[in-house]
Amino acid sequence: MLDDIQASRPPVPGAAQSQKTKLRVIQRFLHRLSLVHSRVEILFKFKSIDYTYHHTFGGKAEARVSGMDQAIVMDSTRYGLCPFSRGPLPSCSRLHPVLGERVELSLSSEAVETGLCGEISFVPMATLGPCMAQYPNWPTRLSRIRVFVYGPCKMPLMRAAGEEPMSFLRKLAASLSWTELGLSGVHYTELQPNEDYPYADIEFLVETDVHPEREPEGSTVIRQEPKPECNHAIEQSITLFFLLQHNDPFQSQLSDFITSEEVLERHLDRLLWLNREKVQASLQSVLQNTLMSYKKRQMAKRKMQSALSVMLNSMTSVVSSSSSARFRTACLDYMRVQDTHELSASLRQSFQRITDSRFVPSCGCRAGKIEEGVNFHQNGSGTREDLVLKRAHQRGQTSCGSKKQCSEKTNVTPSSYCPSTSRMTIFLMQPSQSQHSHLGNTTPSSSSSGTSEFENEQVEKEWLQEIENIPEWD
C-alpha cells in the first residue's frame, strides 16, 4: 500500500519558522513511529524555500520483540548509535531490548465513566546502548535514561509543545531505587535535541559516581588521570519503552479504537499513579535486567584496574631493583624512555591503552564494516581507536553488514531552491507482514560474549579446578 500525501501551499510571510516547527514535529513522530514499526518504510520528503529534507524511516527489521499482544519490530541499526566519534571502528549498532513483565492496570472510576472499558496493561522494555560488548574493557559511562510511551496501537503518544511530561514519569527519578540498580541517582532534565535519536517523552540525567573505580582493599589502583579517561569514555544511555495494551472484546469499529486511545491518553497519568506499585516494580525489574551487563562490566573494570596495578608495580619493582644494566637498558630502550621513572609512566599508559582497546569479535553482536581500517598505521598510532582497528584486523574481522547512518540530510543546492512553493511529501509503504501479530519468539537477548571471552572464562574455570585438584598443598 502506498499513500502519497502532498502538501502544497503558497508562500506566506513569516511562515518559515512555522514550517520548521511542523517539520520537527513530524520528524519526531516518524522517528518514534519507525522505532517500533521498522518494517514499515516511510519515505519523508520536505521541501521549502530554504532547504530540502529527505529521509527514509524504517524499512529494516532488526530486533523482533514478542510477548505482547502484537510483536514489535525494531530498527535497531538506526538508533543504536555508533559508539565512537572518530574512525571507522567496527561496532555493534544494534539495540538489545530486554522485555519486562506485563502489568495489568486497574482502571479508575473516572476513566470508566468516560467510556474506557476492557483490560489495559503495560509492558516495559528497555535497552542499553550503544552496545559495547565487543569492547569489554573500554571505559563507559551511563549518562541518560530516555523514556518513550506508546499507545495500544503502538503509536507514539506525543505531547503538545510546552506541555509538561506526565507527573508519574517525572517522579520516577525519586520513586525508583536507583541505588539498587547500581546508580547514584537520576534527575529529570529538559529534553536535549538530538538529531540522531528520537525525541523522548522524558529524559533523565544519570548521576555518575565520582570515583567509579573503587580501590579494592590492600591494593593500589592505577591512578588514572581523569581527563583522558573522561575523554574517551563512551556515554551509554538506557531507552525505556512504556508499551500500553488495550483489549476490549466489545469494540469492533475503528472509531471505537480511536476514541479509547484518546481517552486512555487523557487518563494515562492517573492510571499509572493508581497502579504505581505494580508499575514501579515492573520498571525496577526491567531496568535491573537491562543494567546487569553494565554492572558486570563495572565489576570487571574494577578487577582489571586492580590487576593492572599489581602488574605494573611488580614490573617496575623488578626493573628498578635489577642490577643488570643490560636488562634495564633493554627495558628503557624498548619503551623509548630515559629513566625508570619515565618507564613506570610509560608502562602504565601502555598497559591501560592496550587493555582498554581490547576487541572481542562477538557472534552475538554484528560489527559494522571497517571501511578504512587499513590506514591505522599511518593515522597517529598510539590512540585507543587505532589499537582497536589494529586488533580488529589482526583477528580477521570482516564486514558483517554495513552500518547505516541515522539520517541523511540533503544540503541546499541552487537547483533545489524553489521560492514559490513548499512541498511536503510523505510516502507510507506498508508491507503485508507489517500487521502480523506473531513474528516468532526470537526475542533478542543481550549480546553474548565472544569466543575469546568464553575461552578466558574456561581458563579461569580450569585454573580453579586445577587448584582444587593439586594435592601438594604444603
Interface positions with another protein (CB under 8 A): 136-137, 216-219, 300, 303-304, 306-311, 313-315, 317-319, 321-324, 327, 330-331, 334-336, 347, 350-351, 353-355, 358, 381-382, 387, 390, 452-453, 456-457, 459-460, 462-463, 465-467, 469-474
Choice between 11 and 216, CB closer to another protein: 216
**Grid coordinates representing 305?**
584496574
Minimum Å gap between C-beta 87 and another protein is 16
Cα distance between residue 348 and residue 315, in whole Å: 10
Question: Which residues have a Cβ under 8 Å from the Cβ of 444 and sit 6 or more positions away?
Answer: 63, 64, 65, 76, 94, 95, 96, 97
C-alpha grid cell for residue 377? Answer: 598505521
Q: Which is nearer to another protein, 26 or 310 (CB)?
A: 310
**180 in Cβ contact with 284 (< 8 Å):** yes
Q: Considering the complex, state which of residue 9 and residue 295 has its C-beta at the smaller distance from another protein.
A: 295
The least CB distance from residue 360 to another protein, in Å, is 9
Cβ proximity to another protein: between 73 and 308 the closer is: 308
User: 140: exposed, middle or buried (C-beta count within 10 Å: 0-12, 13-18, 19+)?
Assistant: buried
In the bound state with another protein, the residue whose beta carbon lies nearer, of 190 and 472, is 472
Contact 97, 64 (CB under 8 A): no
Residue number with CB closer to another protein (189 or 383): 383
Report, in Å, the least distance between residue 323 CB and another protein: 8
Q: Which residues contact 29 (CB under 8 A, 6 or more apart)?
A: 156, 158
> Minimum distance between the CB of residue 380 and another protein, rounded to whole angstroms?
13
Between 124 and 361, name the residue whose CB sits nearer to another protein: 361
Residues 6+ apart with CB under 8 A from 313: 220
The smaller minimum CB distance to another protein, of residues 307 and 429, is found at 307
- Cβ 448 to another protein, closest distance in Å? 15
- Cell numbers for 50: 530554504
Q: Given phi > 0 = left and psi -120 to 50 = alpha, else beta, which region is 154?
A: left
What is the nearest approach in angstroms of another protein to the Cβ of residue 304?
Answer: 5
d(CA 93, CA 445): 14
CA 33, CA 166: separation in Å to the nearest integer? 20
Shortest spacing between CB 80 and another protein, in angstroms: 24
> What's the min distance (Å) between Cβ of 136 and another protein?
7
Q: How far apart are CA 409 and CA 407, in angstroms?
A: 6
| 367 secondary structure, DSSP code | B
